[in-house]
Structure 1
Amino acid sequence: MRLALLRADPALSRFDPLPRIIAHDSFAKGHCGWSQLVGNYEGDLDTMLPGYAQHSSAMLSTLSHWDAGSHGGMNSSYALKVATKPVAGSRNVAIKRHTFRKRGPIRLEAYFTFKPEANELKLSETDVRSVGFLFDLQGGDQDGDGMRVMPHMRFLNAENGVHTQKWQFKRETGDLKAVGSEDKIFSHDHLNPNDWQDLPDGGQRLCYNEIPTKVNWTYICFDFDLETMRATGFRCNDRYFDMSQYESIKIPAMKNLWCMLNICLFAEADTDKRAFLYVDSVCLSGDF
């Protein structure tokens, strides 16, 4: 009965959710809680780490372009747009903030596409450095494990003009730094460009159409267990990837982030041209 109900709903039947749907974000309905990842600060915005100061708000977009008007989302007129500045190496990040009520399996599914700004009459397939996602997780105040766990994944499309096309993950983050003078706020730039590692057998050629304004939507599915704090599976379109060597960033727990379940989506530019990550819809589900 449950499967029949899911398949009867066109908005949900494109996903394979776990038994409890925590969030189903179709950006035809608005931002659905996705906002700018603002860096921590105290007393003055200049106390924010430089990596976060470049971020701006995610937008709702019709995927407009100069030659045919608007592409639109996969199933409506709108998608979420995460756009970088027109500077090589720049990034932008959108975040949605949740908490969880029980440790157990969770699944993140999404349909996305990416393009650079179409300001040249050429394919520009290596102008986007990467697009990716991450969880920012921390156990409950009674769990006693004392860790903040941050699984990161990115699709490294190109680096310094070389078309690489592979999935990567991170085990390390930047140094934890105090912000301000009250010993309450700390920050670390976990999306700094260092320490990315290749996912085993992680090379994948994604669909990237023949002119700079065409897009095709790509499906991803990432499984994680909040009980063991380990990734259990990853799929992109028709490919399933070995996660046995995957490790997450782990740092000591923060004193005010209990039961945190945050999700981020990000894009990075490889040239002095804006990089765009478009997300049509997201489904976060769990087995608890």
Structure 2
Amino acid sequence: MRIALLRVDPALSRFDPLPRIISLDDFSRGHCGWSQLVGNYEDHLDTMLPGYAQHSSAMLSTLGHWEAGSHGGMDSSYALKIATRPKPGAQNVAIKRHTFRKRGPIRFEAYFTFKPEANELKLSETDVRSVGFLFDLQGGDQDADAQRVMPHLRFLNASDGKHWQKWQYKRETTTFKAVGPEDKTLSHYHLSPDGWLDLPNGEQRLCYNEIPTKVNWSYLRFDFDLETMKATGFQCNDRNFDLSGFDSIRIPAMKNLWCMLNFCLFAETDVAKRAFLYVDSICISGDF
């Protein structure tokens, strides 16, 4: 009965959710809680780390282009758009903030596409450096061994003009730095370009159409267990990837972040041209 109910609802039937749906984000309804990742600061904004200072707000987009007006989303007029600045290596990040009420399996599913700004009459298939996602998690305030755990995955599309097309993950972040003169706030830029590792057999050629304005939507699913704080599955389109060697960034728990359940999406450009990550819809579900 549950499967039948899911399949008759077009918004849900494209996903394979776990029993409890935590959020279903259809960006024809608005931002659905996705906002700019603002870095920590104290007293004034200049104390923010440079990586965070470059971020801007996520936008709602009709995927406009100069040939036919707009693509629209996968089945509506709008998608979420994460756009970088037009500077090589520039990044942008959108975040959705939750907390969890029970430790158990969670599943993140999305339909996404990416492209550079189409300001040249050529394919530009190596202009986007990477797109990806991460979770930002922390145990409860009564956990004796609570950690902050941050699984990261990115699709490295290209670097310095070379087409890589492979999935990567991270185990380490940057050094924590005090923000402001009172040492009350710390910050670290975990999306720095250093420390990315290749996912075993993680090469994948995603659909990238023949001219710079065309897009095709891809499916993504990532499974994680909040009880063990370990990843349990990763799929993109028709490929399921081996996560036996995968691990997350793990750092000591922080004093204000108990039961944190945050999700981030990010894009990075390889050239002096904006990179766009578009997300049509997202389903976050759990078995708790």
Greater mean alpha carbon deviation, residues 143-152 or residues 209-218: 143-152
Aligned 8 A contact 2:140 2:146 in 1: no
Q: Where do 1:179-190 residues align within 5 Å?
A: 179-190=179-190
SS in 2 for 1:12: helix
d(CA) in 2 for partners of 1:178 and 1:87?
27
d(CA) in 2 for partners of 1:9 and 1:248?
35
d(CA) in 2 for partners of 1:252 and 1:213?
44
Alpha-carbon distance, 1:117 to partner: 0.2
Question: What is the match of residue 115 of structure 2?
Answer: 115
Which TM-score applies when normalising by structure 2? 0.99
CA deviation string 1:194-241 (max 9, x = no partner): 000000000000000000000000000000000000000000000000
Alpha-carbon distance, 1:183 to partner: 2.9
SS in 1 for 2:51: helix
SS in 1 for 2:216: coil
Whether 1:247 aligns to 2:247 is: yes
Alpha-carbon distance, 1:182 to partner: 2.8
CA deviation string 1:121-177 (max 9, x = no partner): 000000000000000000000111131000000000001000000000000000011
SS in 1 for 2:11: coil
Question: What is the match of residue 58 of structure 1?
Answer: 58
Question: What is the match of residue 144 of structure 2?
Answer: 144
Q: What is the aligned-residue identity percentage?
A: 80
d(CA) in 2 for partners of 1:88 and 1:232?
34
* Deviant stretches of 4+, over 6 Å: none
Question: What is the match of residue 207 of structure 1?
Answer: 207
Which TM-score applies when normalising by structure 1? 0.99
d(CA) in 2 for partners of 1:24 and 1:145?
32
Q: Which amino acid aligns with 2:9?
A: D
SS in 2 for 1:234: strand
Question: What is the match of residue 93 of structure 1?
Answer: 93
Q: Which amino acid aligns with 1:222?
A: F
Question: What is the match of residue 262 of structure 1?
Answer: 262
Alpha-carbon distance, 1:178 to partner: 1.1
How many residues are matched? 288
Question: What is the match of residue 169 of structure 1?
Answer: 169
d(CA) in 2 for partners of 1:181 and 1:19?
47
d(CA) in 2 for partners of 1:24 and 1:258?
24
d(CA) in 1 for partners of 2:185 and 2:279?
31
Question: What is the match of residue 25 of structure 1?
Answer: 25
d(CA) in 2 for partners of 1:146 and 1:208?
42
Whether 1:46 aligns to 2:46 is: yes
d(CA) in 1 for partners of 2:181 and 2:102?
35
Question: What is the match of residue 235 of structure 1?
Answer: 235
d(CA) in 2 for partners of 1:19 and 1:183?
43
Aligned 8 A contact 2:131 2:154 in 1: yes
Q: Which amino acid aligns with 2:223?
A: D
Q: Which amino acid aligns with 1:40?
A: N
Cα RMSD after superposing both structures: 0.5
CA deviation string 1:67-125 (max 9, x = no partner): 11000000100000000000010000000000000010000000000000000000000
Alpha-carbon distance, 1:22 to partner: 0.3
SS in 2 for 1:145: coil
SS in 2 for 1:106: strand
Name structure 1 gaps, 5 residues minimum.
Answer: none
Aligned 8 A contact 2:130 2:154 in 1: yes
CA deviation string 1:28-79 (max 9, x = no partner): 0000000000000000100000000000000000000001100000010000
SS in 2 for 1:133: strand
Question: What is the match of residue 222 of structure 2?
Answer: 222
Name structure 2 gaps, 5 residues minimum.
Answer: none
